[in-house]
Amino acid sequence: MRLLVIVLCSLLLFGCLGGGFTDLKDVNENPGKYLGEKVHLKGNVTKAIRLGKISGFTLVNEGGSIPVSSQMLPAEGSEVIIRGTLMKETLIGYYVLVDDIKTT
């Protein structure tokens, strides 16, 4: 019984920590694998823009770059951690629709 409690507590703790990040290079090279799936990315904010109700930025790291749709616009150059769903639109291609964003 104690072993079961320890295992469950460990799973809960590691689940709350969020595990690792999704590899942006892999997302860019294999977008179909992630389409409609949750991704967890870390990078720097570039090209932040707000046009009426539409806003977003480009996330850049060593794996490349990807457009991000987010109501929150962190300062350009800031490092952020995002969680969201990989989506695809005709005009912009693949992008991340953000559920959660944190500046680091």
**Cβ-contact 24, 43 below 8 angstroms:** yes
How many residues does this entry show for the chain?
A: 104
Range of the domain at 55: 20-103
Give me 93's structure tokens: 């291609």
Please tell me the predicted confidence (pLDDT) of residue 5: 44
For the stretch 50-97, pLDDT in tens is 988 889 999 999 999 999 999 989 999 999 999 999 999 998 899 999
Task: Let me know: does 39 contact 83? Beta carbons within 8 Å.
Answer: yes
- CATH number for the domain harbouring residue 98: 2.40.50.140
Q: Does residue 80 form part of some domain?
A: yes
Flag whether 5 is in a domain: no
Assessment of whether the complete model's pTM goes beyond 0.75: yes
Cβ pair 79, 43 in contact under 8 A: yes
Identify the pLDDT of residue 19. Answer: 56
Are residues 60 and 74 in contact, defined by beta-carbon separation less than 8 angstroms?
A: no
